[in-house]
Amino acid sequence: MLNAAGELFAEHGFNATPTSRIAERAEVPKGLIHYYFRRKQDLLTALVERLPEDLVESDRVAVRGDVAGSLRRLIGELDARLESSPLLSHLLWREADTHVAVRQALQRRFGTVVELIRRVIELALPPGPVSCDIDTAAVLLARVVNHRHSVARHGAHDDELDREISFIAKALELGVGKPRKVKPA
């Protein structure tokens, strides 16, 4: 039922998909859908809960002294997770504007990505005192990744990502910015 709902929501949108069509696609009686999911919104919530976690072992992708390479490996891991579930990704970005549960799930994921990037940067910077603004760099790169993933459903590819990673890595290595805590947007 959830697979059918996800496919139809992604194809036609949440509001344009009646539960009768979901039941038809899932080859189950309509009443069975309402037995497990009291409201159609509950189907969407269940789909959000199916999202794979963006857990990437930061010490596996980070290499001390190679900030840019470490960030490229991390982004590669995040992109692979997106590509493993393009239908669900399409659905989430499509419905985020009108459904609070979806928007909240995407905001939580953004915070997770910021934290992953921050940890990779910390592990990849050369040892010694930190003289750069890691938190702001993490938020900036997370915003780039967020944008990249939000437009991926349109077949858009960000050819500038490598330049952006290089720019951020170089700024960090040069110690640009004063270290300070920044709350993710």
DSSP string for residues in 92-154: HHHHTTT-HHHHHHHHHHHHHHHHHHHHHHHHHSPSS---S-HHHHHHHHHHHHHHHHHHGGG
> Would the pTM of this model clear 0.85, i.e. be above it?
no
What is the DSSP secondary structure assignment for residue 168, as one 8-state letter?
A: H
Closest CA to 1 of 44, 56, 62: 44
For the stretch 162-185, pLDDT in tens is: 899 999 999 998 886 665 555 555
81-140 pLDDT per residue, tens: 776 666 667 777 777 778 887 788 778 888 888 999 999 999 999 887 777 899 999 999
Domains, the chain, with CATH or none? 1-38 (1.10.10.60), 54-175 (no CATH)
Sign for the pseudo-dihedral over CA of 75, 97, 6, 155: negative
For tokens 């991926």, name the residue.
Answer: 152
